[in-house]
Amino acid sequence: MLVRGMKDTPHELKPEDFDEFAKYTEHYSGSDISILIRDAVYEPVRRLQLAKKFRKLQNGKWTPCREGEEGEPKSWLDFKNQSELDIGHITKEDFITALKRTKPSVDGTQLKEYEEFTKTFGQDG
């Protein structure tokens, strides 16, 4: 689900990153996974909004500086045209941050109940 959810989104994630995240999302429902992906995708936007420094890239666009990086003191509001900005791709760190905020809505007890229901009544109930 994670791979499919990110297929059209520019990211820097490797197959092994998805495998790692799958371990952390064992009790996540499909809806939980969607929320996790959406939260990770918004991380660069949050970084943009909170940035106090920006640095110019080789392509001429500006990107928010990460903590400790050198850059010009600016706010995203200082840019008159959004095309001047490059917020970058989704990173492994973005997913890690999203995982800290996004919790599963299904616990192990509920999963066992669903499994028992399916055994007793079949998939369609």
Q: What is the extent of the structural domain holding 110?
A: 2-121
Q: What is the pLDDT of residue 105?
A: 82
- Tell me, what's the pLDDT at 86? 95
The token pair at 81 is: 């045209």
Measured between its terminal Cα atoms, the distance across the chain in Å is: 25
**Mean pLDDT across the chain:** 89
CA 121/CA 37 separation, integer angstroms: 33
Other beta carbons less than 10 A from residue 4's beta carbon: 9
Count of domains observed in the chain: 1
Q: How far apart are CA 49 and CA 31, in angstroms?
A: 27
**Domain of residue 15, CATH code:** 1.10.8.60
How would you classify the pairing of strands 72-73 and 62-64? unpaired
pLDDT above 60 for 125: no
C-alpha pair distances (Å), 125 with each of 27, 84, 109, 120: 22, 55, 19, 8
Asked whether the predicted pLDDT for residue 65 surpasses 90, the reply is yes
Question: What predicted TM-score, i.e. pTM, was given to this entire model?
Answer: 0.77
